[in-house]
Chain A
Amino acid sequence: MMDLLWLFLSFAKISIIGFGGGYGIMSIMLTEVAKFSVTAAQFGDLIALELIVPGPIAINAATYVGFLAQGIPGSVIATLGISLPCLTLSYIVYRFIDRFRSNALLQSFLSGVKPAAVGLIAAAAIIVGRDVIGGLQIRGVAASAAIMLLVLVGSAKFKVNPILLTVLSGVAGAFFVR
C-alpha cells in the first residue's frame, strides 16, 4: 500500500514540475523511475512504444512505468498521479484566467523554466544513450553509435518519420547489435 502511495506522489511531483510537454515530462520521469527499478533501457523501449500507441505521451509513460513498478494497480495509480494535479491546476487557472494572463512575475518565472526543460530533455537523451551502450560488446557499441547518429541526423535535419526510423533501427539492431 505504501508503495502505491509513493508511486502516486512521485507522478504527482512529475506532473507539477513537468514543463516542456511530453518529452519534458519524460526527462524528469527518467530520474524518478529509477526509484521503482525501471532502467533507462526500459525507458528506451517506452519511447518506441509511444510511437505506435495513441494518446498523450505522458499518460502512456505513466501507464507503462506504473505497470512495471506495481502491475495493474500501479498503472492506474501512476496515471491518476500524473493526471489529477494538472487537471486541478488547469481548472484553477481557468477560473482566475484574467489575473494569470497579465502576471509579470509568473511570466518571468516561466522564462527561466522553459530553457531548463530543454536542458533536462538533452540530459535524458544522453542518459538513455549511455545506458544502451553500457551493456554491449565493442561491435554492438559501434553499431549502436552509428544508429544513434543516423537517426539523429535523419530526424533533426531531414524530418524523417520517427516510426520509420525506429523500425529500421530495430532491423539494423537484429543484424548488427549482438
Chain B
Amino acid sequence: MEPDRLKKLRDLFVVFFKASSFTFAGGLAILPLLEKDLIDDRHYMDRDEFLEYVALCQTLPGVITINCASFVGARIAGAAGAFVAAFAAVLPAYTIMLIATILLKLLPQSPVIVGVFAGVRAASAALIMASVFSLGKKQIKMVFAMVVSAAVFAAVLFFDIDALPLVLAAGLAGVIYEALKRKKA
C-alpha cells in the first residue's frame, strides 16, 4: 500500500476515534468535530461534499455515525477507509460501555439504590418522549406524516405489532401517497 494511503488510513482512525470518544448523547454531535479535523485542518474534502454526506447518512437506516464514517472514509481512502473509520468510531463506544455495564451489574441492591434506579428510569422514559417532540417538529409537518406516526404508535402500543412490517408498510404508504399526489397535479 502506498505511504500516502497508509497515512490517510491512520488519520481516519485517529480522527474518528477521538471524535467518537468525545461525543455524548447522539450521533449528530460528532459532526462539528469531524468538520474541524477533516476539512479545516487536514483538507481531505470540501465542506459541500461533507454536508451532502451528512444529509444522506441521516436518511439511511442504521447507526448514523457509522453511515457517516462509511461515506467519509470511502471518499478519502476507498473501502479500507470506510472500514477503518467505522471501526475507529465504534471502538471507544464499545469499550467504555462494556466497562460501565459490568460495573452496573456489580452494584448492590439496597432500597436506596433501587429507589435511585426507579427515579432514573422514570427520567429515561420522559427523555425519550421529549425527543419525540423535537423530532416530531422537524419530521411531521403534514397531515400524512401525522397519520402515519399516530397509526404506528397505536399499532405498537395496542396491537403489539413488530417494527419491521410497520416500517415497510409506512414506506409503501409513502410511495403510494406521493404517486397519488403526482397524479392529481
Residue of B nearest to A126 (CB): B157
Q: A140's contact among B64, B113, B118, by CB below 8 Å, is which?
A: B118
Q: Name B135's closest neighbour in chain A (CB-CB).
A: A118
Which chain A residues in 126-178 approach chain B with CB under 8 Å?
126-129, 131-132, 136, 140, 143-145, 147-152, 155-156, 162, 165-166, 168-178
Q: Closest approach, in angstroms, between the C-beta of B81 and any C-beta of chain A?
A: 10
A51 touches B25 (CB 8 A): yes
Taking CB atoms, residues of chain B closer than 8 Å to A48 are 120-121, 123-124
Q: Are B62 and A44 in contact (CB under 8 A)?
A: no
Residues of A near B146 (CB, < 8 A) are 115
With a cutoff of 8 Å between Cβ atoms, the chain B residues found around residue A170 in the complex are 116-117, 119-120, 123
Q: Which of B86, B121, B155 has the most CB of A within 10 A?
A: B121
B171:A110 contact, CB within 8 angstroms: yes
B140 near A115: Cβ-Cβ < 8 Å: yes
Complex CA–CA separation, A25 to B86 (angstroms)? 18
Give Cα A52 to B97, complex, Å: 9
Q: Is A116 an interface residue (CB 8 A)?
A: yes
CB distance from A101 to the nearest CB of B (A): 8
Does B102 reach chain A (CB closer than 8 Å)?
Answer: yes
Partner of A108, one of B104, B140, B150, B177: B177
Q: Mark A35-50, 1 if CB is under 8 A from B, else 0.
A: 0000001011111111
Residue of A nearest to B132 (CB): A122
The prevalent SS among residues of A at the interface is helix
Interface bin, chain B: 35 or more
Residues of chain B within 8 A of A122, CB atoms compared: 129, 132, 149, 153
Question: Does B125 contact A128, Cβ atoms closer than 8 Å?
Answer: yes
B93-108 Cβ-contact flags toward A at 8 Å (1 or 0): 1101110111010000
Q: For the complex of A and B, list the 10 residue pairs with the smallest distance between their C-beta atoms, beginning with the closest.
A: A173-B119, A55-B93, A112-B174, A86-B62, A44-B121, A119-B152, A116-B170, A108-B178, A129-B125, A169-B123
> Could you list 22 examples of A-B contacts with CB < 8 Å?
A19-B61, A20-B135, A21-B58, A23-B135, A25-B62, A45-B124, A56-B27, A57-B25, A58-B27, A72-B98, A85-B62, A112-B171, A112-B175, A115-B152, A119-B153, A122-B129, A126-B125, A129-B129, A150-B126, A170-B123, A173-B115, A177-B122
Interface, chain A (partner B; CB < 8 A) = 13, 15-23, 25-28, 31-32, 41, 43-60, 63-64, 67-68, 72, 75, 79, 82-83, 85-87, 89-91, 93-95, 97, 100, 104-105, 107-129, 131-132, 136, 140, 143-145, 147-152, 155-156, 162, 165-166, 168-178
8 extra A-B contacts, CB within 8 A, seeds A55-B65, A122-B132, A127-B157: A44-B117, A54-B24, A60-B97, A116-B167, A125-B128, A127-B156, A147-B123, A165-B123
Chain B residues within 8 Å of A, Cβ to Cβ: 20-28, 30, 56-67, 69-71, 74-75, 79, 82-83, 86, 89-90, 92-94, 96-98, 100-102, 104, 111-136, 139-140, 144-146, 148-153, 155-157, 162-164, 166-168, 170-175, 177-179
